[in-house]
Amino acid sequence: MAEQAKSTVFEDNDRVRVTEWRFAPGTETGNHVHELDYTVVPLSTGTLIIVDSDGESENNIVHGRPYFRRSGAEHNVVNRSDQEIAFVEIEVK
C-alpha cells in the first residue's frame, strides 16, 4: 500500500466529526467504509482517484465547492497528481 494521506480531526462531538485530509502526491486513504453521511469541502482544486468495487473513477474537486455523499460508500481515495490536494470532511452523526 502507498503512503497514507494525513488526517487531522478538528472536531468530534455527539453531532459531527470534522476531519481535514491532506493528500501529498502518491498518498491514499486506504480502503474504508463511510458509516455516516458526509459533506466534503475542498481546500484545493485537483483530481483524486476513487477505487471501489466497480473499478477506478476520477473525482474532480474544486476549491470551495462542497459536495454531499450518503453513508455506505466503500472506497480508497488516491492522489496520483503531482500536487497536494486537501479537503475537509464533515460527517453528520
When pLDDT is averaged across residues 5-34 and rounded to a whole number, the result is 98
When pLDDT is averaged across residues 33-53 and rounded to a whole number, the result is 98
Per-domain boundaries in the chain: 6-44+61-92
What homologous superfamily does CATH list for 6-44+61-92? Jelly Rolls (2.60.120.10)
Residue 7 in grid coordinates: 488526517
Model's pTM, two decimal places?
A: 0.94
Instruction: Tell me the backbone φ, ψ of residue 30, rounded to 5 degrees.
Output: 85, 155
- What secondary structure does DSSP assign to 18-86, as a single string? EEEEEE-TT-B--SEE--SEEEEEESS-EEEEEEETTEEEEEEE-TT--EEE-TT-EEEEE--SSS-EE
* pLDDT > 90? residue 79: yes
Nearest to 87 by CA among 70, 59, 63: 63
* % of the chain beyond a pLDDT of 70: 99
Left if phi > 0, otherwise alpha if psi is -120 to 50, otherwise beta: which for 82? alpha
Measured distance between the N- and C-terminal CA atoms of the chain, rounded to whole angstroms: 30
